[in-house]
Amino acid sequence: MQMRELAKELQLVEVVPPPDASITVSGGYVSDLLSDVMGSAAPNCIWVTGQSHPNVVAVAVLTDIAGIIIANGIHPDPETVKKAKQQGVGLYSTTAPAYTVVGHLFRLGVGGCAS
């Protein structure tokens, strides 16, 4: 599923548009532990987290994540938004809990992805 379709289906708020909304999302990964994401998330995954600080952008760049969904109604820090724009990382937010987001992803056919 393409990133733009996924964002529409999940009714995500696009905080920072991805450099390529037509990228195919290879799967999903959920974790709030940055070292876990760095060691386990595969490229082109959509990452669901409750973290909103700038380090999530650095992790997304390191792992070649397709985009970040910040769940639970948490708004990204202004510095996070700035860094996502600079690094070309798609950043989304939603009021839905992370568990619900993951359930919707699975319902849409987006399975888990780990390296």
CATH number at residue 61: 3.40.1390.20
Residue 114 maps to a domain: no
Predicted pLDDT of residue 37: 96
Which DSSP symbol is given to 80?
Answer: H
Please state the rounded mean pLDDT for residues 13-35.
95
Residue 93 maps to a domain: yes
Q: Give the domain extent around 85.
A: 3-107
Q: What is the pLDDT of residues 94-104, one digit of tens each?
A: 999 999 999 99
Q: What is the pLDDT of residues 68-106, one digit of tens each?
A: 999 999 999 999 999 999 999 999 999 999 999 999 999
Residue 115 maps to a domain: no
Predicted pLDDT of residue 115: 65
Residue 38 maps to a domain: yes
Number of structural domains (the chain) is 1
Residue 19 maps to a domain: yes
H helix runs in the chain, sequence order = 3-9, 34-40, 55-63, 78-87, 98-107
